[in-house]
Chain A
Amino acid sequence: MSGGKLKNTRDAMEGRRSETGFDHDLYALFPTHRPRPEGELKELERIWQNPKGWGLLTVVNNNYIGFLYVATAFLFFLLAGILALGMRVQLAAPLQEFLPQGTYNQFFTMHGTVMMFLFAVPMVEAIGIMLLPQMLAARDLPFPRLSAYAFWAYFVGGLSFFASLFVGLAPDGGWFMYPPLTSIAYSPGINTDFWLLGIGFIEISAIAGAIEIIVGVLRTRAPGMTLDRMPMFAWAMLVFAVMIVVAFPSVILGTLLLELERAFNWPFFDPTRGGDPLLWQHLFWFFGHPEVYIIFLPAAGLMSMMVAAVARTPLIGYRLNVLALVATGFISFGVWAHHMFATGMPRVSTGYFSAASMAVSLPAGIQVFCWIATLAAGKIRWSTPALFIVGSITIFVMGGLTGVMLGMVPFDWQAHDTYFVVAHLHYVLIGGMVFPMFAAFYYWVGMTSRNALSERLGNWVFWLMFSGLHITFLPMHLTGFMGMPRRVYTYLPDRGLDMLNLVSTVGAFVIAAGVLLFLVDLARNFRFTTEHDAGNVYGGGTLEWLPTGLYSTRSIPLVKSREPLWDDPEICDDVAEGRYFLPNSATGLRETIITSPINAEPQYLQLMPGPSPWPIGAAVFTAVFFLSLTVQAYAFGAFGGIVAVVCVLRWLWETDRPIQQQTADIGGGITVPIAVTGPTSHSWWALSTLMVVLGMIVFMGLFSYLYLFGIHPEVWIAAPPLSQSAGIAAALVGALGLAWLSRRSMATKQSGEFPGQVPWLASAIAAGLLGAAIWWDWTGWSAAGLVASASGQGATVFALLSFQACTVATAAIMALYLGFRSGRGLLLGPNSVTLDVVVRFVSYTAMQGLAIAAVVRFFPGELV
């Protein structure tokens, strides 16, 4: 596509079509020319200043939370790396006793689990939280307290999970945790429960982060930053977050089922009672393979941005790259069973999954060639990030090629579960994620440190890691061909494995030396700051390099191209002098502009919550809750759970306050509303995302139910009578009606008018109806003779009903909270975000109940 044609398309997107009715001619007002009043900047600094001393723990600003998040994720990278060194010492020679068998099995389980769940996913999410607001020129992410909660839950949960290693209670079933090895019969200790605990935390923070990122990317971009002008990292994070929303529910459900089987003997995976071990593998890999791309795509987004910066030219093939990101997201959900080729799958299925596995390498190829083309189009300036970028391309391509080999079913039958796969996955993940991450550290450190990192040390770091990687993992391909399976704590002598393993061990220490040198570099040069940072060392062209403080940029620029800093030399000054949107605080509170999802037209001003101790309180007590359950201190667990819920409600209490000011001037005389409800609002988008998550969990639960019916129909019993099902449906439909009434009675009120008792009371009665329905559903199945521990049907039906019961309990708490707010006069017409959220959640719960009841009662219930 020629440059001219591209420009025409851009013009068309900018000028002729307005998404929201916003007049694009208003953009011509910027940059403004009138001098700004004195004191605006001081006011911004005052509003956004962070708490001091111990109060720093209550900080929610993305500069701080993002930095802490990255630092914690990197800590886990180091810890898991140390575990890897321990394993390599053990395997340096045959039949060594450096690590006893049990310890080794814990080490390799923890290495995989920590690297995947506590390092890779949180790290890319953390980089997103750190960089996205600046890249999009938003003041902060839309739910700062949610970010803080997600971070602290991850921090506390991750560290206590890791500590299980020191008392010998770390999980030892492999990061994939296949039952029945992990079922209570073969893993009676609480080690496995610790795994489920650790994963539970990361599930929570990943989902919270995904909601934050989806809403952040789609709704808080600077005006004029159409989807077509978004930095590639924002695209990657958008796809990443959507993938988390679709993929994580599968592993959330899987872990819930495994814990239910372990705690209450519900036989989801026990073939003697109508379960099936392969159900776990489907649930795990439906998450587990997309997980690889969840890690890779954000790193690829970072690569795309850094390649452009070091080559000093815009990325070649921007749209192809976006297409590649989206295509990867889609295809990656169709490849999960390539981890299961050796389970005796039917030939047709292996063929399909083989084809999909090959197809998913095409988008990766597109991205790699976009990067190469960009390097060719520009003039590279060698630097540490440039080295890591070129190294990453090489390593990732090699890993991708062995991936294609493994996608060939007959070859996979030989190489599966051998060291060949160990080599493959480390090439892909180190080339695809770790090297880009190190490049990103060097490239973006100027945003958050007084000094840049050392180029001289950086060179050494790169060459040590690059050579160490090949020394470690290149021989492993052959080690696999020699017949060495994965996950072995030792091997026998005289099998031709000694030298290969010794070389790998040496290589591992070369990598470690590189990482150590990086730590030295950090110690010498890294000094955290939010004000006097080293800045744009490598000459990037995107908005994160605008002059910033804790409030992000002084004014929020109008974006006219993909690399505004390259195209408009004045933009830094104009932004800092307040010549763009929102050069001040329009309300005297923390706020950011919410823009439309496609063309980023200003829509309204969001008020943002500031520092608060409640998110960290909620996180700590969430940790208390899960940890107590793991060590079977149930009373203490209940206490922790209740306190956690109270903390969440307390943090919400301060939000959504009635305000006097209805509109605000966001600069250039443009006024927008302040608080809105309905589909335009960011909270509507966030709740919708959460509903997708819950809906996916139920969907995977129904899949499990139908899957087990397909495998063991002989244990199925008939459903309760039709009259009962009709009654349950009526109760749920009644709840839907009351939810509608609740909103309706609110909408008819005047602005600022107290709406009376009807809105909250209708919601509360609706929640009561939901409770009655689930009670009836549950007891009905019990009366029909269904026992949870007796069959796959009992286990899956009661698991679904338990999930519904939890959702109903949440809806009930929300309805009571609404009542409490109403009693305190915080619920005023005609629209309230809180009411909006509660009503929609109650309605969702009713529909979820209907879906569950319908499927398990009518299919195959009526057919038996």
Chain B
Amino acid sequence: MVEAGSAFDAWWGWPPPVLDPAGPYADSVTTLAWVLFGLGVIVTLIVVAAVYLAVNGSKRTKSKLGGERAVWIGGIAFPGIVLTILLVWGLALTASLTKTPTGDEMRVRVTGHMWWFDVEYLDSAGNVVLRDSNELHLPVGEPVVIELASADVIHSFWVPNLSGKEDMIPGRVNELLVQADKAGRFGGICAEYCGGPHALMGFVTVAHGSSEWREWWKDRTRSLPGIADQDVPGETVVLASNPATPPDLNPLDGRQLFMNSGCAACHRVAGTEANGLAGPDLTHVGNRLSLGAGILPNNRGTMMGWIGNSQSIKPGNRMPNYDMLSADELEAIAIWLEQQK
């Protein structure tokens, strides 16, 4: 998962994601940000120059500046005109960014939990087709409606490369329209303070090109009866092959350990008796780009570390340390989880 030599979360960093739009809902805002920035610099310079001239200017300049006329021009007329223009632009832009969905878009429900994101892909009737956590996969070039909900306190969903943020509020469902116009991985993060380890509540958005998207969808839905034959959202059906599971040497039964150690009480792994809903869904955890809600690379070592000692990695998270498990046992669980793809 982690490309050698680069930071694990290469989806964050330079250039600033707010100024590096990857879709139409971020693009126009970036333009706006640059215009506002330029305007801000100009106005600051004007004011500083005015102060300088007021203090050090020639007698003539000072007498021009030193009256109510200067207040009318500099304090009322100039800002009045500029603000009116900005307001009109802002209103038009707001309108274009809050288009009402047509109803044909792919829909994903993202629910904020303390402190992770539950991701559910919905069919056109609103039923859950696929469940995943802390990772959002999208087809490039397709508008996607994100239904934003919360299971506990207020969170906020933000992928700066794709769009502005929108809050996830208990008792309400907000809708956010996003679209990625280029393939890639984009960082997401909770932007509303939600207590405890709010700082460590992130996720990854992956935008797939069309063929890659088809493969991804088929792969995820391969075991779901009736789904595999249906349309891929935004695409037509193409078959994909199952990736082979690598052999391993740990003699312990990771699955057994997972079920017996209490993991299954909070985590769901589709197709097994693990059906807990309190924590992230682990059905596809082997494919995940990150662990701990966007904070660690996903490999065997980090998985073992997370299971054994998640409280020192992300203090306050809802998962207890499983430090009573031996290293071999942790490894066995990690190996089994790696196979959940």
Q: Which A residues are closer than 8 A to B by beta carbons?
A: 1, 100-102, 105, 172-174, 178, 180-181, 186-187, 271-272, 276-278, 316-317, 320, 342-344, 347, 350-351, 354-355, 358-359, 361-362, 365-370, 372-378, 380, 390, 393-394, 397-398, 401-402, 404-405, 407-418, 478, 480-483, 485-496
Contact = CB atoms under 8 A, between A and B. Distances in A.
Contacts, number: 281
Given A362-B80, A377-B67, A494-B9, A409 B90 contact: yes
Interface size class of B (residues with CB under 8 A): 35 or more
A410 B91 CA distance: 9
A481 B21 CA distance: 12
A403 B29 CA distance: 16
Interface stretch (B148-156, B213-221, B253-261): B148-156
Contacts of A390: 51, 55
Tell me what chain A mostly uses at the interface: helix, strand, loop, or mixed: helix
Contacts of B193: 173-174, 178, 181, 417, 486-487
B17 A342 contact: no
Given A355-B87, A373-B54, A483-B189, A344 B174 contact: yes
23 contacts: A186-B153, A316-B66, A343-B167, A347-B94, A351-B91, A351-B94, A354-B91, A354-B94, A358-B86, A358-B87, A361-B79, A367-B75, A372-B54, A394-B51, A402-B40, A408-B36, A408-B86, A409-B90, A413-B166, A482-B17, A483-B17, A488-B199, A496-B12
B239 interface: no
Given A181-B194, A354-B91, A344 B167 contact: yes
B54 A409 contact: no
B170 A277 contact: yes
Contacts of B160: 414, 481, 483
A494 B2 CA distance: 14
A487 B198 contact: yes
Nearest to B76: A366
Interface in B4-26: 7-9, 12-14, 16-19, 26
Nearest to A406: B36
Contacts of A372: 47, 50-51, 54, 65, 70, 74
A101 B191 contact: no
Nearest to A373: B70
Nearest to A378: B66
B190 interface: yes
A417 B192 contact: yes
A482 B83 contact: no
A375 to B, nearest CB: 4
B28 interface: yes
A271 B172 contact: yes
B321 interface: no
B130 interface: no
Contact of B171 (A181, A272, A410, A412): A272
Contact of B198 (A180, A186, A365, A488): A488
Contact of A483 (B63, B171, B187): B187
Interface string B71-82: 100111001100
Given A410-B164, A488-B198, A368 B75 contact: yes
A411 B32 contact: yes
Contacts of A493: 7
B153 A180 contact: yes
A418 B67 contact: no
Nearest to B70: A373
A495 B79 CA distance: 37
Nearest to B74: A369
A376 B66 contact: yes
Given A101-B196, A494-B13, A343 B169 contact: yes
B223 to A, nearest CB: 34
B165 interface: yes
Contacts of A276: 171
Nearest to B174: A344
B182 interface: no
Interface string B93-137: 111011000000000000000100000000000000000000000
A769 B198 CA distance: 53
B72 to A, nearest CB: 8
A361 B9 CA distance: 40
A178 B155 CA distance: 11
B70 A369 contact: yes
7 closest cross-chain pairs (CB), A and B: A271-B171, A413-B164, A377-B66, A369-B75, A488-B199, A494-B7, A376-B66
Contacts of A316: 66-68, 70-71
A469 to B, nearest CB: 14
A768 to B, nearest CB: 43
B136 to A, nearest CB: 16
B276 interface: no
Task: Point out which of A351, A358, A483 has the most chain B C-beta atoms below 10 A from its C-beta.
Answer: A483
Contacts of B94: 347, 350-351, 354, 409-410
B44 interface: yes
B320 interface: no
A376 B53 contact: yes
B164 A277 contact: no
B156 A100 contact: no
A187 B285 CA distance: 31
Nearest to B312: A97
B296 to A, nearest CB: 9
Nearest to B16: A481
Given A105-B196, A405-B36, A487-B193, A365 B74 contact: yes
A393 B19 contact: no
A362 B84 CA distance: 11
